[in-house]
Amino acid sequence: MWRNRDLIDLTEFTRKDVETLFKQADLFLETRLAPNKMLEGKIMASAFFEPSTRTRLSFESAMHRLGGSVIGFSSAEGTSVEKGESIEDTVRMLDNYCDVIVMRHREDGVMQRLAQLAKNPLINAGEGQSRHPTQALIDLYTIFKEKGMLEGLNYGVMGDVKHARAARDFIRGLSLFGVREVNLITPRELMPEEVFVKDLNARGVRLNHYERVEDVIGMLDVLYVVRLQVERFRDRSEAEALRGSYSISLKTLERAKRGLRILHPLPRVWELSSEVDGTPYAAYFKQVSYSIPVRMAVLSLILTDIERVQEGLI
Ligand code: NCD
């Protein structure tokens, strides 16, 4: 059940929860995202302490489409955090002004701590280098729409799996659907740390490692690409040395299956050539278009009794 829950860690949700969300997103798609008064009178606080374009704007757009309203800020600049206010106090304050808080922050582990303070649901819109659950829901939904299923497919994840929260939560999301194996395609320096690998193993997912995409491309059904997270390197020259160390072009796709679908949470930089955009492999713009129905589904399931209505419980 979604009602009144925080959405911080995707692994606290079940496959059934995610399928309920898919159904709700389908309903919004069927009505072509027509304005809907479901959340009239509700207020969403959008608290972004880290840069964001698509996540913040798509959450805000989703809330508006549901008839709700939005308050918030898009950087710490101009807030009392600049005067030295703690994030805890900022959340206590926001909690009084709204019905749901959507937050992005650079510190890993911050969301769990803040959720204990807030009486309203807290939605994680990107946390450090570890988590980005709503992006993962969009990614899973995109595969479901493209392929009709999530299990039984061969997955590749290419790029900075060490620092990219989108890639990491995508893999965690796959684990909910019983996916047993994911192929990581990345230079050794960008492999995730042991704790992450062990956690996935404990969830039944084996992570294989390839340095060259050519060695694995021919067997993939889904390839998830992420950019090098330059801003998360302490030493920028290390990031500079890895620039261009992995990429997808028409040439790399020569041996791909016809049904291969490429996803990317965006923004992209140099890792995915725009020459791929016009091919049937490219699913990343569809993925963007699903961000609105999926985030509408998240907000409506958390803020209303719609799930209970759907299940005939009321
Ligand atoms: C991602 C993020 O912020 O983690 N962006 C997004 O939300 N679509 C991916 C990224 O910045 O690489």
What's the confidence (pLDDT) of residue 255?
96
Does residue 132 carry a catalytic annotation?
A: yes
Pull the structure tokens for residue 144. Answer: 């479901």
> Is 192 part of any domain?
yes
Residues 66 and 174 in one domain: no
**Cα(252)–Cα(243) distance, rounded to whole angstroms?**
18
Which pLDDT does position 34 carry in this prediction? Answer: 86
Active-site residue flag, 83: yes
Looking at residue 32, its pLDDT comes to: 84
Minimum-distance ligand 1 atom for the alpha carbon of 55: 7
Domain membership flag for residue 242:
yes
CA torsion 301-303-307-310 (nearest 10°) is -110
Q: Are 276 and 301 in contact (CB under 8 A)?
A: no
Span from the CA of 120 to the centroid of ligand 1 (angstroms): 25
23 belongs to a structural domain = yes
CA of 125 to the centre of ligand 1 (A): 10
Distance (angstroms) between ligand 1 centre and the Cα of 309 equals 34
Q: What distance in Å separates the CA atoms of residue 85 and residue 79, rounded to the nearest whole number?
A: 9
Alpha carbons 131 and 125: distance in angstroms, whole number: 8
What is the model's pLDDT at position 77? 83
Is 2 inside a domain boundary? no
Percent of the residues in the chain that have a pLDDT greater than 70, as a whole number: 100
> Is 304 in the active site?
no
Q: Which of 65, 131, 132, 227 is catalytic?
A: 132
Give SS3 for 255. helix
| pLDDT tens digits for range 227-273 | 999 999 999 999 999 999 999 999 999 999 999 999 999 999 999 99
Are 148 and 263 contained in the same domain?
yes
Does residue 34 sit in the same domain as residue 80?
yes
- Ligand 1 mutation target, pool 55, 129, 130, 268, most atoms within 8 A of CB: 55
CB atoms within 10 A of CB 82: 10
Predicted local distance difference test score (pLDDT) of residue 223: 99
Q: Mark whether 127 and 184 lie in a shared domain.
A: no
Residue 87: CATH number of its domain = 3.40.50.1370
Question: pLDDT at position 76, please?
Answer: 82
- Least Cα distance to 131 among 172, 159, 94, 92 occurs for 172
Q: How many domains does the chain have?
A: 2
pTM for the predicted model, two decimal places: 0.97
Residue 1 resides in a domain:
no
Is 4 a member of any domain? no
Query: In this structure, is the dihedral angle defined by the CA atoms of residues 60, 301, 129 and 274, taken in order, positive or negative?
Result: negative
55 counts as catalytic: yes
3 inside domain: no
Q: 67 and 173: one domain?
A: no
Domain that holds residue 227: 133-288
Same domain, 120 and 137: no
Q: Are residues 119 and 154 in the same domain?
A: no
The verdict on residue 139 lying in a domain is yes
Residue ranges around ligand 1 (CB below 6 Å):
54-55, 126, 132, 135, 164-166, 226-227, 265-266
Tell me, rounded to whole angstroms, the distance of Cα 33 from its chain centroid: 20
The residue contributing the CA closest to ligand 1 atom 8 is 265
Same domain as 151, residue 98: no
Is residue 273 domain-shared with residue 209, that is, in the same domain?
yes
Strand-by-strand arrangement of the 43-48 sheet: 69-73, 43-48, 100-105, 122-127
- pLDDT given at position 314: 76
Active site residue 14: no
Asked if residue 51 has a cis previous peptide bond (ω within 30° of 0), the answer is no
Block means of pLDDT (10 residues each) for the chain, 314 residues, are 97 98 96 90 96 95 97 87 89 97 97 97 98 98 98 97 98 98 98 98 98 97 98 96 97 97 98 98 98 98 92 80
What would the pLDDT profile of 176-214 be if each residue is shown by its tens digit? 999 999 999 999 999 999 999 999 999 999 999 999 999
Quick one: 220 and 189 in the same domain?
Answer: yes
CA 219 to centroid of ligand 1, rounded, Å: 27
Between the CA of 52 and the centroid of ligand 1 the distance, in Å, is 8
70 and 206, same domain (yes or no): no
Closest C-alpha to ligand 1, atom 2? 166
User: Which token pair is 42?
Assistant: 């509700």
**Domain identity same for 52 and 69:** yes
